[in-house]
Amino acid sequence: MEEKQNWMEWITTLDRRYIFLLVAISVIIPIVIGVILPVNVSPEVRSVYNYIDALPEGSTVMIVLDYDPASEAELYPMTLALYRHCFDRGIKVMSFTLWPNGAALIERAFDTIKLDYSESEMFPDGIRSGIEYVNYGYQVGGALVIIAAGQDIRTAFSTDYRGNSTASMEILEEINSLGDLDYVVDLAAGSTIDWWVIYGVQRYHFTLGAGCTAVSATQYYPYLNTGQLNGLIGGLKGAAEYEQLGGHPDRALAGMTAQSSVHALIVFLVVIANVFYFLTRKKG
Amino acid sequence: MQLVRKHIPIAVAFIMGVAMFFQFYIPTRESSNFLSDVTQWNRVIAGFALLLGIYSLLNHHFHKLRRRSPGWGFSVVVYVGFFAMALAGLIWGIRNEPPIPTLNASGQVIGQVEVFVPFLWMYQYLFVPMQATMFSILAFYIASAAYRAFRARTREATVLLLTAIIVMLGRVPLGAFLIGYHPFGGEEEFLPWLTGWILNNPSMAAQRGIMIGIGLGMISTSLRIIFGIERTYMGGGD
């Protein structure tokens, strides 16, 4: 009887290193096996996809990368999926970041995309900076950058990431401020979506979509409900949904199996812990 | 001294606060130009704040090093990391350069050599993995904390626990496999549908309450700053 009691106590106070080991196994095995599970697409993600899909060729979309490498696992696949969708549709893309450590991620994303489209029929000369895309790099000032770009985009972003003047760039021919953009998407690891809604959408009246880490997705549903955000891509799951819609399966879809198994493990652990909690409590 | 340290900052905050408030409601070119100018001033000031942050970081770790405070070795890492990244960026640049073509004796291109950019190498192979590692460790701690602390001790805790289980399963493909049918005849699988319902209704209602509270707090704090009641932003013990 006492042995049974000890055993139950051992389960309820399980050494966390065993839990760490279980988590590691449940992440590694699905990645090694490489199974890709299809995901069901949520209306929030479909809304962003449909909006970009309906834009005419030659439109201009601003995709803002407000994150750094800490959130790369969730938000970088989202970035690539959005870039690919835009370039598949012949849409021009502008990007910048309000995070100092995010600028190099934008450059890396564009370099990856340039390789993908190097032999594309739509872009016989490849994807060119200043024509099909522009990377403005890191912009200091937080929410003030949004207001500045809403007032005059050339003044706000006078040079691109490489130091070239943006004044005569072809991509800016018909764009004077944020209000002239066909769509803006903020991919955020922090609170910048709030800034984009308050200082961007409400002042300069453009359509805004957003992407964020899974942990912060819940706080943006009120904006979806009011129409201040037209869609939301939440976490790796959202990125996987977008990859599936765009027909470019990549890192997000590949990661969903690992995420599934870890979620299942956590649910299993919580259930087990509660069962033994009640059993030990019953025994006094 | 009081004039410089107290009265002038309060007057500046009052004048700019009131001016920016009225600017929002005046749709003229002059008003718009005023906003553009103020925004540019603010961005310049924000740039100086970055310098202040760097000074503060280095100063803090300098004192830790000088006093040999516990963990002073980490301060050495801060200094090495800071100067290695900054110098590499200043000397060799921070941008990826196109590959340099290699030519043979007759001037034909026979290949290309990638340009090595030390800053980008450090960013890609040191900074990115280290930050990603820090964030990934969270998954291990969350699993351990959930196992230890997530107990159905009360009615409220039970509701929270069940909701968490539904959302955790509904947000991954596994959830759709577990309960494939929809009891209300919807097109979507049951668990993802239920997760969406939770996020779009009870969770959103709670978030909206929090946001309204934050909004009211921001308005009251702004008014307190404009009218000189809130002075902690000026620093010091005044």
Please write the tens of the pLDDT for every residue from A28-40.
999 898 888 888 8
> Can you tell me the distance from the alpha carbon of A144 to that of A195, in angstroms, rounded to the nearest whole number?
9
Q: Does residue A212 have a pLDDT over 80?
A: yes
Question: Which residue in A142, A237, A278 is closest to B172 by CB distance?
Answer: A237
> Can you tell me the distance from the alpha carbon of B221 to that of A245, in angstroms, rounded to the nearest whole number?
44
SS3 B150: coil
Delineate the domains of chain A, giving CATH numbers in brackets: 2-35+259-282 (no CATH), 43-248 (3.40.50)
- If you average pLDDT over every residue of chain A, what do you get? 92
Q: Say which DSSP state B5 is in.
A: I
> Can you tell me the distance from the alpha carbon of B172 to that of B161, in angstroms, rounded to the nearest whole number?
17
* CB of B95 less than 8 A from some CB of A: yes
**Contact yes or no for A14 and B47 at CB 8 A:** no
**Contact yes or no for A270 and B161 at CB 8 A:** yes
Whole-number pLDDT of residue B12? 93
With beta carbons under 8 A apart, name residues in chain A contacting B139. 23, 27, 262
pLDDT, average across residues A194-213: 94
CA-nearest of B39, B90, B51, B44 to A140 is B44
Whole-number pLDDT of residue A14? 86
pLDDT, average across residues A137-160: 91
Q: A33 or B183: which carries more pLDDT confidence?
A: A33
Bridge partners (DSSP) of residue A62 are A94, A184
**Contact yes or no for B207 and A69 at CB 8 A:** no
pLDDT, average across residues A226-240: 95
> Can you tell me the distance from the alpha carbon of B153 to that of A262, in angstroms, rounded to the nearest whole number?
24
Per cent of chain A over pLDDT 70 is 98
**Contact yes or no for A72 and B128 at CB 8 A:** yes
Q: Which of B127, B137, B147 to mutate to test the interface with A (most CBs of A within 10 A)?
A: B147
Whole-number pLDDT of residue B98? 73
Please write the tens of the pLDDT for every residue from A50-96.
999 999 999 999 999 999 999 999 999 999 999 999 999 999 999 99
**Contact yes or no for B146 and A27 at CB 8 A:** no
Whole-number pLDDT of residue B50? 85
Whole-number pLDDT of residue B11? 94
* CB of B42 less than 8 A from some CB of A: yes
Task: State the pLDDT confidence band at A279, using cuts at 50, 70 and 90.
Answer: confident
Residue in chain A closest to B190 (alpha carbons) equals A40
For chain B, what are the domain ranges?
1-71
With beta carbons under 8 A apart, name residues in chain B contacting A148. 36, 39-40, 43
**C-alpha of A224 from chain center:** 16
Whole-number pLDDT of residue A82? 97
**C-alpha of A139 from chain center:** 19
Whole-number pLDDT of residue B236? 63
H helices of chain B, in order, are: 2, 8-25, 29-66, 72-92, 118-122, 128-149, 155-170, 173-178, 190-200, 202-226
Bridge partners (DSSP) of residue A188 are A66, A212
Nearest C-alpha of chain A: how many angstroms from B2?
A: 30
pLDDT, average across residues B121-142: 91
SS3 B36: helix
A183-188/A133-138 β-pairing: unpaired
pLDDT, average across residues B43-62: 91
Per cent of chain A over pLDDT 90 is 76
pLDDT, average across residues A197-223: 94
CB A217 within 8 A of CB B170: no
Task: State the pLDDT confidence band at B238, using cuts at 50, 70 and 90.
Answer: very low
Whole-number pLDDT of residue A90? 94
State the DSSP string of B79-132.
Answer: HHHHHHHHHHHHHH-SSPPPPEEEE-TTS-EEEEEPPP-HHHHHIIIIIHHHHH
Which residues are within 8 A (CB) of B196 and not within 5 positions of it... i.e. 6 or more apart? Answer: A42, A43, B170, B188
Q: B27 or B181: which carries more pLDDT confidence?
A: B27
Q: A51 or A16: which carries more pLDDT confidence?
A: A51
* CB of B201 less than 8 A from some CB of A: no
**Contact yes or no for A147 and B39 at CB 8 A:** yes
**Contact yes or no for A269 and B146 at CB 8 A:** yes
Q: Does residue A236 have a pLDDT over 80?
A: yes
* CB of B140 less than 8 A from some CB of A: yes
Q: Does residue B3 have a pLDDT over 70?
A: yes
pLDDT, average across residues B25-32: 90
* CB of B217 less than 8 A from some CB of A: no
**C-alpha of A167 from chain center:** 29
Other CB atoms within 10 Å distance of the CB of residue B129: 13
- Report B:149-178 residues touching A (Cβ under 8 A): 150-152, 161, 164-165, 168-169, 171-174, 176-177
Task: State the pLDDT confidence band at B192, using cuts at 50, 70 and 90.
Answer: confident
Instruction: Report which secondary-structure segment, H or E, holds B231.
Output: none
pLDDT, average across residues B20-47: 89
Whole-number pLDDT of residue A284? 62
Whole-number pLDDT of residue A281? 78
Whole-number pLDDT of residue A1? 60
pLDDT, average across residues A93-119: 92
Please write the tens of the pLDDT for every residue from A113-125.
999 998 888 888 8
Residue in chain A closest to B152 (alpha carbons) equals A274
Q: A2 or B79: which carries more pLDDT confidence?
A: B79
Dig out the tokens for B11 from the structure.
């007057």
CA-CA-CA-CA torsion sign (A231, A235, A239, A245) = negative
> Can you tell me the distance from the alpha carbon of B138 to that of A68, in angstroms, rounded to the nearest whole number?
16
Whole-number pLDDT of residue B182? 67
Point out the least confidently predicted range of A194-198, B33-37, B127-131, B231-235. B231-235
Q: Does residue A148 have a pLDDT over 60?
A: yes
CA B119 → CA A18, B77, B134, distances in Å? Answer: 39, 17, 21
Dig out the tokens for B235 from the structure.
């620093």
